[in-house]
Amino acid sequence: MLALVIAPSAGLASEAPRLHPGAIEVGLAGSIVSVEGSTRAALAVRGGSFVGGVSGGLAGLEVEVGYNHQRALDTVDLEGNVSWQRAVGAGHIYPFASIGGGLRQEHLGRFSQARYPVGLAFGLRTLFGARAAVRFEYRYRRVLNDPVANFTEHRALTGISLLLRNTERPERGGEKRP
């Protein structure tokens, strides 16, 4: 498993794949969520884009929709995140940090409750060519507006991503600089 994260896939060109400004990431993620000693699984679909020029790295904007069903409780999450990532050396591995929050709508029969998760995340994105990536992420969230008390949530996510428009863009005038 560690070899999948460290080594690029066989058959790629000698230059490691890179994440470029303007790239769009679309992905699926599964997670294990731990809240105050209770653990459950969740599924999410996400999409985002990257812009360059931020301290030698890339800034990212991402939107995610997640779903969880546990016994009679259905939960839908809508989150937004702002991230910063930078390649390790000239490689294909991108550690990242993000801050985000959103709306969590929980339904139990006719009862519905809105909560607001906010917090930080840290992760690692490994590119396998210009079009595919695997992502590992840890999220810390403080969940606000609980009817009993605000609580802390820890989430470990693993996901796969498809990268669209991940090519180097020529500079103005149609030519690349040397």
Both tokens of 153, joined, read: 């949530």
**Whole-model pTM above 0.85?**
no
- What is the CATH number assigned to the segment(s) 22-164? 2.40.160.20
Q: What is the dihedral of CA 35, 5, 164, 60, to 10 degrees?
A: 50
- Please say whether the dihedral angle defined by the alpha carbons of residues 134, 31, 28 and 87, taken in this order, is positive or negative: negative
Convert the pLDDT of each residue in 46-88 to its tens digit. Answer: 999 999 877 889 999 999 999 998 888 899 999 999 999 999 9
Low-confidence spans in the chain with pLDDT less than 50: 1-13, 177-178
**Measured distance CA(50)–CA(17) in Å, rounded:** 15
Backbone φ, ψ for residue 49 (5° rounding): -140, 160
Question: Nearest 5 degrees, angle CA 54-CA 60-CA 64?
Answer: 165
- Residue boundaries of the structural domains of the chain: 22-164
User: pLDDT value at position 53?
Assistant: 72
